[in-house]
Chains A and B, each alone.
Chain A
Amino acid sequence: MTAIWRSRSFAVVAVVAVLIVVWYLGAVLLNLQPQLDTYQRSGAAVPALPQLINDLWSQAKPILPAPHQVLGEVWNATAAQDITSKRSLLLQGWITLEGTVLGFLIGTALGLLLAVYIVHNEAANRSLMPWIIASQTIPILAIAPMLVVGFNAIGLMGLLPKALISTYLSFFPIVVGMVKGFRSPDQMQLDLMRTYNASRWTVFWKLRWPASTPFLFTSMKVGVAIALIGALVAELTYTGGGGLGVRLLTGSYNGQTVVMWAVLVVAATLAAALVVAVGLAERLTLRGMGAQPA
C-alpha cells in the first residue's frame, strides 16, 4: 500500500496535479480585474460565482489563459489544422526543428574540434578558453540580429544563419564537457599507453575518445536544449523564414496570449523530445560499450 506513495510515477502525477490547480487559481486571480472592468463597461452586473469563474477561464485574450484553453489551442493548431497552413504549429515546429538540429550538429562538431585542439595544445588551452567563455556572456538577443544582418550581407540567408545562432549557443557545453571528458582518463591509463609507446593519435582514439563518451551525451543534452532556444531567438530576428519564434512574435503583437502559451507548450515538448532522443542514443551507445547497468 505504501508502495504507490513512493513510486516515481505517483510523484510526477502529484506534482503535475498541484501545478494545474495553482495554474487554474492563478488564472482566476490574474484575470479577475480585467473581467470586472469588462462587466462595468458593458453595464452588466457581476454574475454568480460559477458563471464568473467560467468567464475568467474563457477570455479571448486573458492575462493568464487556463490550461484547457492552452491545450485547446495546441489541438486546434496541430491536429485540427491543415499541416500546410501557416497557422499549423506542426509546420512552424518543423521549421524550428530544422534550424535547431542543423545548428546543433554543426555546434557539436565545432565543439568537438575545439575540445580536441584545446586538450592537445597548451597554448590553445590558455588562449582559446577565455574567449569561448566570453562568447557565452554576450546576451544572445543582442548578438543574434547582428549575426543575421551580417550573414545576410555576405549572401547567407534562410536556414543556415538561423542554424548558426543555434551553433553559437550549443557548441559551448560540448567544448566544456569534452575538454573534461578527454582529460578524464587517469594517470595510470595514460602511463599504460606510454609503455606501449602509443602515439598521441592512438591515445586519443583508443583511450580519450571512448573514455569521454558519457561526457559527450551529457553535453549534448544541454546543447540540444539551448540549440532550440537559439533557433527561436534567431526567428524573432529574422521573421521571413517562419517558425515557432515567429508565431510567438505575432501572438505577442496581437495580444494572443493563448497562442503564445500554445507555442511555448509546443516548443517545450520539442525540447523534451530532443533531450529524450539524445538520452536514448546515450543508453544504446553505453550499453553497446558494455557499461554496467545502473
Chain B
Amino acid sequence: MTVVSAKTLGLTFHTNDGDVVALSDVSLDIEKGEFVSFIGPSGCGKTTFLRTIADLEQPTSGTLTINGMTPSEARQKRAYGYVFQSPALFPWRTIEKNVALPLEIMGYPDADKKARIARTMELVNLTGFERKYPWQLSGGMQQRASIARALSFDADLLLMDEPFGALDEIVRDHLNSELLKLWARTQKTIAFVTHSIPEAAYLSTKIVVMSPRPGRVTDIITSTLPSERPLDIRESPEFLAIAHRVREGLRAGHSYEETA
C-alpha cells in the first residue's frame, strides 16, 4: 500500500531576491512500512519535501497524496507524527506532560492517555523520567522524548527532520540503533531527513538522494542490507557499496561543488 505518493511535485518560494526553486519535478512513492531517508546538501529541498507532506508548506505544482488524501486532509486526520530538528519540548511541562500534549489536544480520555504515555515512554527507554523537566535531561534524551510525543497518538507515518543532527556521534549511533528497534516493533512508515551518509545507509530500506538548485531527486537506492542491522554492519562490503552509491548520486547532482 502506498502511504505517500508524489507526482511531478514542484515548490517555488517567492523571495525578495527572486524565485527559489525548492522542489522541481519530484516523483516518488513511499510504501507502507518502509524506512525512507532523504539525503543531500542544504538547499536540496529534503526538509521542504518533508514539510510539504506535513502540510507545513504548499506545493506550487504536481500532486501529493498521503494515504490517498491531500496533505491538508491528512494533517486534519492526524495521519502523521513529526519530529523536528530540535526537541521543541515545552519547558514548563514535565516529560510525561510533553508526551501527553498531542493526546490532550486530540481529546483522548485520561485512562487511555496514561496507558499511551507509559507505552511510548517505554518504547524510547525513558521510563523513570516522567516527572523530569526537559532541562533536567540530556539532548539525546530530550530528542527521545520528542519521538515519544510523535508516537503517542499512533499515527502510522513518522516524519523525522534531521532528528539527531544536533547530537554527538556516539549518542547518534546509539539512537540510530534504538530507532531501528523501534521501527521494527511499531511497523511504522518512516520518512527521515539527514545529511549523514552513514546514517542514511544504516537506517533505510530506501535512500532518496537529492541535489540543490533546483531541489530535485538524483537517485533512489533500495537497500540490500538485511532488516537485522547491528552497528558493525557499517563495516560490511554491502554497507560500503550503498554509501558509495549515495556519494556517486551526490556527485552527479554537483553537490560537492563549491558555490558562492
Contact = CB atoms under 8 A, between A and B. Distances in A.
Interface stretch (A68-76, A132-140, A194-202): A194-202
A59 interface: no
Interface in B99-115: 101-102, 104-106
Contacts, number: 54
Contacts of B54: 195
A240 to B, nearest CB: 47
Interface in B1-37: none
Contacts of B92: 210-211, 213, 289-291
B181 interface: no
B88 interface: yes
A289 B133 CA distance: 9
A290 B84 contact: no
A290 B94 contact: yes
A213 B92 CA distance: 10
Contacts of A290: 91-94, 133
Interface of A: 186, 188-189, 191-198, 202, 206-207, 210-211, 213, 289-292
Given A197-B75, A206-B101, A290-B133, A188 B90 contact: no
Instruction: Provide the main secondary structure of the chain B interface.
Output: loop
Interface string B57-97: 00000000000000000011010111011101011111000
Q: Which of B76, B82, B85, B90 has the most CB of A within 10 A?
A: B90
B84 A196 contact: no
Nearest to B88: A188
Interface residues of B, number: 25
Interface of B: 54-56, 75-76, 78, 80-82, 84-86, 88, 90-94, 101-102, 104-106, 133, 135
Contact of A207 (B76, B82, B84, B90): B90
A112 B140 CA distance: 37
Given A196-B102, A197-B76, 11 more contacts: A188-B84, A192-B82, A195-B54, A195-B75, A195-B80, A206-B90, A211-B90, A290-B92, A290-B94, A291-B92, A292-B135
A195 B84 CA distance: 11
Contacts of B106: 196
Contacts of A206: 90, 101, 104-105
Q: Lowest 6 A-B CB distances belong to which pairs?
A: A290-B133, A289-B92, A292-B135, A188-B88, A195-B82, A196-B105
Contacts of B76: 197
A188, A197, A198, A292 interface centre (most CB from chain B within 10 Å):
A197
Contacts of B82: 191-192, 195
Nearest to A203: B105
Contacts of B55: 194
Contacts of A289: 92
26 contacts: A188-B84, A188-B88, A189-B88, A191-B56, A191-B82, A191-B84, A192-B84, A193-B105, A194-B55, A195-B56, A195-B80, A196-B78, A196-B105, A197-B76, A197-B78, A198-B105, A206-B90, A206-B105, A207-B90, A210-B92, A211-B92, A213-B92, A289-B92, A290-B92, A291-B92, A292-B133
Contacts of B80: 195
B84 to A, nearest CB: 5
A191 B133 CA distance: 22
